[in-house]
């Protein structure tokens, strides 16, 4: 295959790996032409673009580049060629199925061509993932081939720039969803002029595209109507406030980016943002300084769903800050150090539910009304002793806990008003986690046998009733089936 004249900057594939051509020319002392390629996967490379003291190109990674012969590299195919290669097997099978009558196959001259054209034209969801698409091909051919396309997956292809991509999408006038993950698109000098090519676009996926947040904001004028933007596993670190762009966003995925946590609030002014994914982003703190404990923040006004899995959150004060979000209904915070502070994950779940008054979904599990009631009652008992010690009192007129307690438990007074103050006998003193501190003291009394002395045992809270019956069977010498247990607090 002849090397294109505009090869520098073009995307290529070689042995299943994708990269960008950074150099075309000789590499002495060898003869002939070489392509200097910067690979998407730096493990594929051997050097940084230099050879025997001569710099031929530069790479983002010290060993992200190598030289390959042009005949070993593929510069890809156009959209329609890839479309036919991708779907011809499916179409041929469908044709053969349609033409089969009983055990005989009907042969109709030209019917296959008509059938293929008809099938391609009717496609609304198109997947060309890893099909080496590098450009649009002949003028208007895409418009004629797939006029009704609403969803297009071009992930892992050989598209080199937003201009090349726009030449494809401008022919897809109904396109609403576009998958571009695992591509490397050079940014346009004037993104606004490309916006007509994305005028109907609502969902855009750019996962693993080596994008910075600055590059995202630079490109954003192209996507004026985008409501869902997926940017997982990019080079997003320091967030800047979107000015006059991304204002239609409802969903934003920034997971698997190491974000400077002080900059998270820069996106808090997006007016319609309802779902934010910040999982695996190295975050440990949230603070909404514009609102005092117990009040609502003006930031993230529409945020209903927040994903914080696999972060470094270790303090309950972070959950208190999340209570300030006025619209928060769904939270996921799995695999954070915070959850290990209690004796089991269910206890941590109950504390989160009690601290977040409107939560309907926690870690992908629905919060039912009975669970909320139990969690809030247990919370009052769990921290009731600390409340009394801080100046709390069952008499509302004397109930004045100090500022430190109220800062740590901003919902506590609201829960007392809802359920009333817990009895002192129900209060649980918080103790360091140790096996001896997690045992419950249970006294067994036999009301039908007044001469039998009460039996006191320390049992783990996780012990099931069947095991308790087995224990009593051994202690009391009674058949387990005759035991009837009732509980009195």
> What SS3 state is found at 463?
coil
Residue 269 lies in a domain: no
Rounded Cα distance, 360 and 353, in Å:
9
Are 123 and 229 contained in the same domain?
yes
Rounded Cα distance, 126 and 174, in Å:
13
Are 101 and 44 contained in the same domain?
no
Residue 331 lies in a domain: no
CATH number at residue 143: 3.80.10
Helix (H) or strand (E) holding 144: helix 141-145
Rounded Cα distance, 133 and 77, in Å:
5
Domain extent at residue 196: 77-236
Are 161 and 26 contained in the same domain?
no
Asked if 234 and 219 touch (Cβ cutoff 8 Å), the reply is no
Geometric angle at alpha carbon 433, from 429 and 438, rounded to 5°: 70
> Rounded to the nearest 5°, which phi and psi values hold at 458?
-100, 120
Half-sphere exposure of 199 (CA within 13 A, CB side): 8
Rounded Cα distance, 267 and 246, in Å:
10
Total-model pTM: 0.81
Are 94 and 195 contained in the same domain?
yes
Are 445 and 463 contained in the same domain?
yes
- Asked which of 204, 221, 236 is the last residue of a domain, the reply is 236
Give the bridge partners for 306, in sequence order: 276, 331
> What SS3 state is found at 22?
strand
The tokens 């730096």 sit on which residue?
A: 42
Are 137 and 86 contained in the same domain?
yes
Residue 275 lies in a domain: no
- Asked which of 221, 236, 251 is the last residue of a domain, the reply is 236
- C-alpha distances in Å from residue 249, one per residue of 43, 185, 221, 404: 35, 22, 13, 38
The pLDDT value recorded for residue 55 is 94
Are 396 and 451 contained in the same domain?
no
Quick one: three-class SS letters along 112-162? HHHHHHHHHHHCCEEECCCCCEEECCCCCHHHHHCCCCCEEECCCCCCCEH
The pLDDT value recorded for residue 103 is 47
Residue 4 lies in a domain: no
User: What are 96's two structure tokens?
Assistant: 């053969």
Give the start-end residues of each E strand in 170-308: 177-179, 203-205, 228-230, 251-253, 275-277, 305-307
Query: Which of 411, 382, 387 minimizes the C-alpha distance to 398?
Result: 387
Residue 152 lies in a domain: yes
Rounded Cα distance, 242 and 266, in Å:
8
Rounded Cα distance, 439 and 460, in Å:
5
Are 105 and 230 contained in the same domain?
yes
Are 38 and 158 contained in the same domain?
no
- Asked which of 236, 262, 289 is the last residue of a domain, the reply is 236
Are 34 and 168 contained in the same domain?
no
106 conformational bin, left if phi > 0, alpha if psi -120 to 50, beta if neither: beta
Are 100 and 182 contained in the same domain?
yes
CB proximity list for 349: less than 8 A, separation 6 or greater: 362, 363, 375
- Determine if the peptide bond prior to 163 is cis (ω within 30°): no
User: What are 422's two structure tokens?
Assistant: 């817990």
- C-alpha distances in Å from residue 51, one per residue of 35, 41, 274, 402, 482: 13, 20, 51, 69, 86
CATH number at residue 466: 3.10.20.90
Question: What is the count of structural domains for the chain?
Answer: 4
> What SS3 state is found at 424?
helix
Residue 287 lies in a domain: no
Residue 321 lies in a domain: no
Q: State the sign of the Cα–Cα–Cα–Cα dihedral 291, 293, 295, 296.
A: positive
The pLDDT value recorded for residue 473 is 79
Are 109 and 202 contained in the same domain?
yes
Q: What tens-digit pLDDT sequence spans the chain (489 residues)? A: 567 878 899 999 999 899 999 999 999 999 999 999 999 999 999 999 999 889 999 998 999 999 999 999 999 999 999 999 998 765 555 555 555 544 444 444 444 554 554 477 889 999 999 999 999 999 999 999 999 999 999 999 999 999 999 999 999 999 999 999 999 999 889 999 999 999 999 999 999 999 999 999 999 999 999 999 999 999 999 999 999 999 999 999 999 999 999 999 999 999 999 999 999 999 999 999 999 998 999 999 999 999 999 999 999 999 999 999 999 999 999 999 999 888 889 999 999 999 999 999 999 999 999 999 999 999 999 999 999 999 998 888 888 999 999 999 999 999 999 998 887 766 755 555 555 556 788 888 888 777 788 888 888 877 888 888 888 777 777 665 567 888 876
Residue 251 lies in a domain: no
The pLDDT value recorded for residue 452 is 81
Entry field: residues in the chain: 489
CATH number at residue 54: 2.30.30.190
Query: Which of 262, 248, 267, 261 minimizes the C-alpha distance to 201?
Result: 248
Give the bridge partners for 25, in sequence order: 34
């Amino acid at each position: 295959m002849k090397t294109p004249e505009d090869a520098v900057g073009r995307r290529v594939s070689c042995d299943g790996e994708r990269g960008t051509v950074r150099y075309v020319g000789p590499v002495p002392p060898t003869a002939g032409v070489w392509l200097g390629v910067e690979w998407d996967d730096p493990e594929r490379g051997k050097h940084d673009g230099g050879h025997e003291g001569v710099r031929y190109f530069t790479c983002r990674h010290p060993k992200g580049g190598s030289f390959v012969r042009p005949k070993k590299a593929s510069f890809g195919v156009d959209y329609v060629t890839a479309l036919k290669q991708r779907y011809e097997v499916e179409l041929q099978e469908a044709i053969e199925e349609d033409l089969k009558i009983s055990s005989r196959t009907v042969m109709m001259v030209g019917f296959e061509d008509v059938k293929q054209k008809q099938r391609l034209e009717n496609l609304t969801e198109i997947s060309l993932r890893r099909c080496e698409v590098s450009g649009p091909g002949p003028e208007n051919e895409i418009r004629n081939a797939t006029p009704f396309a609403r969803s297009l997956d071009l992930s892992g292809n050989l598209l080199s720039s937003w201009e090349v991509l726009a030449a494809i999408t401008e022919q897809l006038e109904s396109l609403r969803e576009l998958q571009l993950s695992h591509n490397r698109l050079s940014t346009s000098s004037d993104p606004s002029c490309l916006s007509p090519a994305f005028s109907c676009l609502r969902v855009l996926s750019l996962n693993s595209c080596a994008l910075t947040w600055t590059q995202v904001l630079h490109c954003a004028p192209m996507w004026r109507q985008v409501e869902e933007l997926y940017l997982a596993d990019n080079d997003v670190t320091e967030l800047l406030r979107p000015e006059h762009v991304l204002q239609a966003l409802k969903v934003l995925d920034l997971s698997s980016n190491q974000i400077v946590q002080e900059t998270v609030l820069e996106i808090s002014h997006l007016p319609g943002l309802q779902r934010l994914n910040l999982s695996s982003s190295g975050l440990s703190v949230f603070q909404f300084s514009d609102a005092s404990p117990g009040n609502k923040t003006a930031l993230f006004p529409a945020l209903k769903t927040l994903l914080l899995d696999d972060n470094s959150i270790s303090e309950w004060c972070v959950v208190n800050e999340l209570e300030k979000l006025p619209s928060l209904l769904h939270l996921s915070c799995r695999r954070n150090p915070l959850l290990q502070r209690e004796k089991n994950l269910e206890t941590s779940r109950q504390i989160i539910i009690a601290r977040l008054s409107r939560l309907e979904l926690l870690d992908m599990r629905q919060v039912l009304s009975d669970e909320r009631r139990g969690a809030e009652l247990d919370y009052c008992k769990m921290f009731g002793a600390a409340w009394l010690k801080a100046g709390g009192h069952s008499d509302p007129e004397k109930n004045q806990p100090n500022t430190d307690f109220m800062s740590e438990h901003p919902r506590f007074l609201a829960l007392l008003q809802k359920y009333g103050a817990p009895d002192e006998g129900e209060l649980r003193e918080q103790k360091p986690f140790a096996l001896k501190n997690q045992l419950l003291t249970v006294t067994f009394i036999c009301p039908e046998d007044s001469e039998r002395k009460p039996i006191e045992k320390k049992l783990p809270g996780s012990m099931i009733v069947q095991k308790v019956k087995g224990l009593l069977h051994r202690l009391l010498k009674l058949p387990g089936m005759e035991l009837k247990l009732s509980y009195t607090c």
